[in-house]
Structure 1
Amino acid sequence: MKKIILSMLTIGIIFSCGKVQKEETVGTVQTEIQKEKKSTLPPVSDATMENAVIYEANIRQYSEEGSFKAFTKDIPVLKQLGVKILWLMPIYPISTTKSKGSLGSYYAVSDYTKVNPEFGTIEDFRELVKTAHDHRIYVILDWVANHTGWDHVWLKEHPEYYTKDKEGNITHTVGTDWTDVADLNYDNQEMREQMRQDMIYWVKEEGVDGFRCDVAGMVPVDFWENTVEEIEKIKPVIMLAEGWEPELMENAFDMGYGWDTHHKMNDIAQGKANVEEWDKRMIQVDTLYAKDDILMNFTSNHDENSWNGTVQERMGDAKEMFAALSYLTPGMPLIYSGQEYDMNKRLLFFEKDTIIKKKGKFFPLYEKLGKLKNNNPALNGGKNAASYARIKTSHDDKILAFKREKEGSEVIFVANMTKEPVKFDIEFQGKFKNYLSQQEIELKSDQANSLGAWEYLVLVQE
């Protein structure tokens, strides 16, 4: 009898040991998966945004394949351009009901927590994020909180989440031609909470680093404020508003669009405004925004390119000078997919339209400007930005000259913002190196200077 009991105990011990070993093995595998998924990139900080370049990725058009995998291969290339923040245009499944074109709009979302199969799988997306993080690039997702596509499950299960007309029919956003989307009703608190949880999913489960929020000003500010507060209990995030309203950046967003700055660039390039209008805009920025507010500077983005024209169409021969100015003026510069390859076509919005990746003038220019932005504190443009001081010239209506300074470093920008050569005197002196040509330049207040049409100088201390 004792032998039988001992035998049973032995079997029990062997069985339990096997179970423990199996559990340990499973636990080890899960731990390894978690380690692999966990980013080695430190959480975003204020310092991150001081010297960052942001890149807007149009996954559909970036490559012939239009996939996460194809884009991921080029992340090391973005690193060469000084990119520190990667903004992915909407990656979610696209609604087919009432859709526009053959492929529909990225902004007509049918499910906030899945990826568009056109781009690949969730595993492909995770590899994209991991690769970006391995190259010390943060990833933010384009978030569409104002509306959903007409296929979204909420339309069937929660019609109360949506805006309705007098007859009780769900409508698209009033005052727009966005007929491919249904407008969300932010009076509904349950919808707000579900939207918040869907955003939290991408930060908590997929490791993204923040959001660019579509038409942010059309969504109540208190939703953004409460949502950011909840998200940042997980980790610090980057929040970019597609909006200019200062109240968006009081508590919810780190950065907004420099729309009026962009419009001034277009107007000057087209001869509708001069440097005096630029100066007024800089005063307006100081008046409207707090010192720790960041504006995104750009010569193009997906809306501008598809609907208002290419950089060449809008800025012509001034396009290179304004590209440089977007890096030199306070704020954070944006590169839109294809700009680094001198793209000169309006990308179709609802169809496949591949970007041709052939290096020309702009890739080396962005590479040099990115290096300067990343490494010279005089171009800091975040919450503790470098100073901006206008330098007086004899033609302040035609010549823009200013100094950026921080921590003993100086960068000088001088540009002719007209289509004709200009001779001028400048009230500044010192020895500098022309950053782009590496030639030595000495500025003197008593000497005549000249710049050709749209010519510019980026000067750094010797």
Structure 2
Amino acid sequence: MRKIAIALAGLMIMASCKNENQQEPVAEKEQSGIEPVSEEMMESAVIYEANIRQYSPEGTFDAFTEEIPQLKDLGVKIIWLMPVYPISEVKRKATGDRSIEDIEDPEERKKYLGSYYAIADYSAVNPEFGTEEDFRELVETAHDNGMYVILDWVANHTGWDHHWLEEHPEFYTKNKQGEIIDPLNPATGESWNWTDVADLNYDNKKLWSAMTSEMRYWIEEHNIDGFRADVAGEVPTEFWEQSLEELEGIKPLFMLAESEDKDLFHNAFDMGYNWEGHHLMNQLAQQEISVEVWDDYMKKIDTTYQKDDFLMNFVTNHDENSWNGTVQERMGDASETMLALTYTLPGMPLIYSGQEYDMDKRLKFFEKDTIPKEKGNVWPVLEKLGTLKKESPALHGGKNAADYNRLETSADKKILAFERSKDGAQVIYIANMSDEEQDFTINLEGDFTDYMNGDTTTLAPGAKLNFQPWEYRIFRK
């Protein structure tokens, strides 16, 4: 739905608001680089969340750029860069509830680099990561390797030394005393404890124009391909819709909302977060719920969302890793089973920096850290799953997703089995979602190839299968 409405608006804007000189730089880059964002691309895409600070010992754009080509081996089509902008120093977070102002030792203060989401300047790059030219090279390298780049966009708040605080204090939310405040939880009216940022007030329509102008800069000057909107639901949906009408007059964009609010998909965002599904995966892995709860969830999203709405599936991301635990901590022996599930479900699978290297540590959020760089068990699994996602229409997960059909078994409280199909292609996922061995029957007939190991299995109606704890298979006929 979003693409149709935006396309029409974009044509009008291009005709009335843009001149040839403004459009020329982006058009030239597109001719020599990647094809524009399309709905077809989204069907088989894998998205990669890049944490530049922690991706390498150097923590630079250049270090990440060098390794972009190998992401193709994992089927990555979209690179989402965590915020790349300068980070505010005022009220900069340290540990717990402390800010750097609470630390007297100047050497101790230096190690706290702050939250990526406390932005001091929307139209500059963090000098710790490199220069604007380094960033431009990153985008061009991604495009040369057939990948799109989207920026993490923080429209809900700024850091405390952003120039708007002095130049446009009217852009911010204030208390009864007229003091600018940090963001509040709308449900309780209490602070989220995001004390390192100042809340923006979208009642002021001049802010809408200013924020859109900042987003426009990255498209026109650096040819980026879209945005991941931080806490998208805390910003008025009308802002995103109005902003996208203007921005997509420059070029087609891919838009990801950190939200699963269905209203955001109508005219603003292509994809949202599958937060509820992720939490259910954690609960399944911890044996807190049965597969029946998962089935109820799949029925719910089928009736909640429009057919062309879709969600991002994940076993980890920057928030989950740093604050709630590693994949191994949360999912244990079920980790690979859940990973395979994120690729076979409708939607788009996410890889977070370090996940591909079997990372089993919580990355520091406010300090320098580094992901491991040794390929272990997960890399080859991601390679195979990425290839299947790319090659089989049965795993299309975007606006024209393949069908999802639950397959009945004799042990539906423990066994999750479903079929994905489209254009004559078929993929079947079967998993023992328990820590106990399971014998069960399933009504499948024919010769099937186990995609992950290449073995062939012949099944007759009512065939009996035996799965070990957390065993999964991906069958192709």
- Alignment of 1:151 onto 2:161: yes
Q: 2 CA distance for matches of 1:32 and 1:401? A: 50
Cα deviation, 1:226-252, whole Å, max 9, x if unaligned, reads 011111111110000000100011111
Q: Give the aligned partner of residue 379 of structure 1.
A: 395
CA contact (8 A) 1:38 1:207 kept: no
Task: Return the letter of the residue paired with 2:115.
Answer: S
Counting only pairs closer than 5 Å after superposition, residues 387-402 of structure 1 correspond to structure 2 as: 387-402=403-418
Give the letter aligned to residue 320 of structure 1: E
Deviation (angstroms), 1:318:
0.1
- The alpha-carbon deviation at position 205 of structure 1 amounts to 1.7
Residue among 60, 66, 90 paired with 1:97: 90
AA matched with 2:143: H
Shift of 1:447: 2.3
CA-CA distance at 1:99 after TM superposition: 0.4
Check the 8 A contact 2:26/2:223 in 1, yes or no. no
| Counterpart Cα distance in 1 of 2:256 and 2:26 | 31
Shift of 1:445: 2.0
Structure 1 residue 36: deviation in Å?
6.3
> What is the aligned partner in structure 2 of residue 338 from structure 1?
354
Determine whether 1:306 maps to 2:322.
yes
CA distance in structure 2 between the aligned counterparts of 1:41 and 1:323, rounded to whole angstroms: 29
**1:123 aligned to which of 133, 137, 146:** 133
Q: How far, CA to CA, are the matches of 2:238 and 2:416 in structure 1?
A: 40
What CA deviation, in whole Å up to 9, does each residue of 1:288-311 have, x standing for no partner? 111100100000000000001100
Secondary structure of the 2:118 match is coil
**Correspondent of 2:209 among 189, 193, 196:** 193
TM-score (ref. length: structure 1): 0.92
1:415 aligns with 2:463: no
Q: Which residue of 25, 33, 36 maps to 1:43? A: 36
Larger Rg: 1
1:194–1:39 Cα change, 3 Å:
farther
Greater relative contact order (Cα < 8 A, sep 6+): 2
Contact 1:39/1:133 (<8 A) preserved:
no
* Cα-Cα RMSD: 1.3
The DSSP-based 3-state class of the residue aligned with 2:447 is strand
> For 2:223, what is the secondary structure of its paired residue?
coil
CA distance in 1, matches of 2:235, 2:465: 50
Q: Helix, strand or coil for the counterpart of 2:295? A: helix
Identity in percent: 60
Q: Deviations over 1:252-284 (max 9, x none)?
A: 100000000001100000111111011011011
User: 1:293 corresponds to which residue?
Assistant: 309
Name the residue aligned to 1:19.
Answer: none
- How far, CA to CA, are the matches of 2:195 and 2:373 in structure 1? 33
* Residue from 183, 187, 205 that aligns with 2:221: 205
Contact 1:255-1:294 within 8 A present in 2 as well: yes
| Counterpart Cα distance in 2 of 1:37 and 1:223 | 27
Question: Does residue 388 of structure 2 align to residue 366 of structure 1?
Answer: no
Question: What TM-score, normalized by structure 2, do the two folds share?
Answer: 0.89
In structure 2, list runs of 5 or more residues that go unmatched. 1-23, 95-111, 185-190
| Residue 65 (structure 1) aligned to one of 58, 64, 67 | 58
Gaps of 5+ in 1: 1-30
Per the alignment, residue 422 of structure 2 pairs with: 406
Rounded Cα–Cα distance in structure 2 between residues aligned with 1:180 and 1:62 = 24
1:169 aligns with 2:179: yes
Aligned partner of 1:8 in structure 2 is: none
Q: Which runs of 4+ in 1 moved over 6 A?
A: 31-34
**By how many angstroms is 1:34 displaced?**
8.7
